[in-house]
Structure 1
Amino acid sequence: MKYANEIFFLVFALILWGLLYGSRFILTLGKASQSEKLWLTALTLTATSFTLFALASTISLSLLTLANTCFVANFIYFGLFCRSLNGPIPKNMNILVLAGLLVFAVLFEYLRQNGFFIQRVGLISLIAASCFVWELRELRRLKEIRSNQLRFLIYTVAIELVLTIARLTALYIDGGLSTPNLYQEGVISSSIRWVWLGISILSYVAVLGYWLEKISIEKAQAIQESSKIIALLKEKERLIYGLLKANKTSATGALSASIAHELNQPLGASNLNIQFLKMKLEKGVISPELGKEILDSLEADNHRAATIVKSLRSIFIESDSSAEEVQLGNLISKVLDIVMPELKSKNIQIQLRVDEQLMVKVNATEIEQVILNLMNNALQALANSGTLQRRITIEATKSGQLIRLSISDNGDGVSAEFKPQLFELLSTTKQSGMGLGLWLCKHIVTRCGGSIHYEDTVGGGATFVFELPSAA
């Protein structure tokens, strides 16, 4: 049959172009990896070379140089693909490959015009055999070949290596020196060539199967991960439902604990005044003036306790906060009157930098409670520190439409581990205490449209800053 070789080449070319078309999913899945690009390049070069082999005898035999250059390039890029499975290929490798292919094309064209067919086949067989050995070495270097397709690829490449040597040997026996070109090759060597080219197609099929296998594994893993995420989301929903169900009980418990904590100060002060009053009565040395002073203190403590209860109840029951315009300096003075005895007993100095004209629209008693809580925190921090010159600084300034009030001490400050949850409910840095004071401060200030945060004091210590909208 006159055009048997051309028909075989054309059939093989169509098979390879079909494989290339079927591999387009690699490009549509997203950004192709280096390995995928190298394999697609090798497959394209092989399909192109087979197409040129099918056309060269009818168009021009000079196309054989281009066909064989593409054929050799396919071996090199397939080898680079195997190498890329073990690690990335340097970017400048393409330049070296193109330079080598240019040298090959010049040499092959010279042999086509001046040499023998067996010399050309020998050159291609040497390059092909070298690439097959390289491919086998790279595939064997893979630490653990879990893919059945890559295992199959090892066998096909090994068979290609054997057939390459067998073809060159058969061509020499068939009288390669007298064979003019590819299309007049002897029966034995040409038969081996077709088997070799068929096995090369199986190599490409094996790699295509490897990509499909890889995608299937990744899809299975994605489904598994998705199942885990769905399970976690369901667990989250169950937890949220449980928290919502327990919210009423938790709120009641938090309210009770808050009341117990916040009432400790006025009730403690009342208890001291009552004990003092009883002692004076038993001795019969109480004067009307002293009695009135003690009773006034008891009344003030009782009023403060009642206000605290009302304030705490408002946390869980939305109601009017009874805001009014007040001077911030007056609120600070009232708190200082309460804590002054303790300041003196612990030898703590007070530094005041307060603009007396600052006006805020708030519930006065609630803001007094915030200032008192922050002052008590500073007192306790200084009492537990080794600082000799103990000092609390209170500053109040206006910044735009906000009034900024800061209370600083020169104690030990707050350790880094406690800073993120300072204002959380039931979080405390104290050995005794229930972690409700700062949480309540934040709640009150937020209700007033303000904010509160912690800063480290320059030189050591803690600074609590809260801002409130200005009334003026």
Structure 2
Amino acid sequence: MAEFSASIAHEICQPLLGIAANAAASLRWLQRDVPDVEEAIAGLKDIRAGCERAANIVKALGALARQAPLQLQILKIDDVIREAIRLTQPVLTAQRVRLETGLFVDQSIVADAVQLQQLLVNLITNAVEAMAGSGRDSAVLRINSFTLNDGVEVCIEDNGPGIPADRREQIFGAFYTTKSSGLGVGLAICRAVVDAHHGRIWAQASASGGARIRVQLPTCCY
């Protein structure tokens, strides 16, 4: 129960922050001498989308906790990656992260889109936070996808401080964190999502000395 509660708190924090930011922006547009109604409406639409995302996250976490059947659908992993990038774009911009992508997967997979989206959002956010605390002048995040014989692979790597070899398995455990304000559930949720899809997730060192997280998912997780 403690792990599940911490997971909910961790996962819905980002959409709630987005909702608050969009609400503040919408108010500013409406309080101008000449209100910009179109921009305010756009902000309200983003708020609605944020609320739907938060609700979907709680639903997906509940399904993970109950080990309920996945909500399977045919999807393109590159489309899920692009949506995760869109959702994390504000933090990428705020932290001045240079994003490099190489998305090369043509084949479809059968998976739970909400859970995969949250997996990728967590990995991107974790990489950005690692680079923010590394003291580097230039933060670079690389996201690549590849087709495998029986599935797909997504590789996310950064030029942050990296992960010591003796901790590369520990980081996926519940409540393990190196951050003073961290809950230690983000990567544990990633492992749970990958396990539910009968895939693999592991950490390596990147060529720049940072961290590389590799995720392999089968074509279908039946």
User: TM class by shorter-chain length?
Assistant: over 0.9
Q: Decide which of 249, 264, 268 is 2:13's aligned counterpart.
A: 264
Please say if residues 30 and 37 of structure 2, whose CA atoms lie closer than 8 Å, have aligned partners that are also in contact. no
| Higher normalized contact order (CA 8 Å, seq sep 6+, divided by chain length) | 2
Q: CA offset at residue 320 of structure 1? A: 2.4
Q: Decide which of 82, 92, 103 is 1:343's aligned counterpart.
A: 92
Match of 1:354 in 2: 103
Question: Cα distance 1:433–1:286, how it changes in 2: closer, same or farther (>3 A)?
Answer: farther
Q: Is residue 58 of structure 2 the alignment partner of residue 309 of structure 1?
A: yes
Q: Is residue 115 of structure 2 the alignment partner of residue 381 of structure 1?
A: no
Q: CA offset at residue 291 of structure 1? A: 1.8
> What secondary structure, in the 3-state scheme, does the structure 2 residue paired with 1:382 have?
helix
Q: CA offset at residue 432 of structure 1? A: 1.2
Instruction: Work out the CA distance in 2 between the residues paired with 1:301 and 1:285.
Output: 27
Please say if residues 418 and 429 of structure 1, whose CA atoms lie closer than 8 Å, have aligned partners that are also in contact. no
Question: Cα distance 1:286–1:433, how it changes in 2: closer, same or farther (>3 A)?
Answer: farther
Kindly provide the amino acid, as one letter, of the partner of residue 61 in structure 2: L
- Matched residues, number: 220
Instruction: Work out the CA distance in 2 between the residues paired with 1:262 and 1:341.
Output: 16
Identity %: 28
Match of 1:465 in 2: 214
The aligned runs of 1:94-105 (5 Å cut-off) are none
Unaligned residue ranges in structure 1 (runs of 5+): 1-251
Match of 2:173 in 1: 424
Question: Cα distance 1:404–1:280, how it changes in 2: closer, same or farther (>3 A)?
Answer: same
Please say if residues 350 and 392 of structure 1, whose CA atoms lie closer than 8 Å, have aligned partners that are also in contact. yes
Q: Decide which of 136, 149, 152 is 1:403's aligned counterpart.
A: 152
Question: Cα distance 1:447–1:285, how it changes in 2: closer, same or farther (>3 A)?
Answer: farther
> What secondary structure, in the 3-state scheme, does the structure 1 residue paired with 2:69 have?
coil
> What secondary structure, in the 3-state scheme, does the structure 2 residue paired with 1:392 have?
strand
Which of structures 1 and 2 has the bigger CA Rg?
1
Q: Which has the higher helix share?
A: 1
Q: Which has the higher strand share?
A: 2
The aligned runs of 1:38-77 (5 Å cut-off) are none
Q: CA offset at residue 314 of structure 1? A: 1.2
Q: CA offset at residue 367 of structure 1? A: 0.2
Q: CA offset at residue 423 of structure 1? A: 0.7
Question: Cα distance 1:438–1:357, how it changes in 2: closer, same or farther (>3 A)?
Answer: same
TM-score, length-normalised on structure 1? 0.45
Unaligned residue ranges in structure 2 (runs of 5+): none
The aligned runs of 1:9-24 (5 Å cut-off) are none
Q: CA offset at residue 284 of structure 1? A: 5.1
> What secondary structure, in the 3-state scheme, does the structure 2 residue paired with 1:336 have?
helix
Match of 1:280 in 2: 29
> What secondary structure, in the 3-state scheme, does the structure 2 residue paired with 1:422 have?
helix
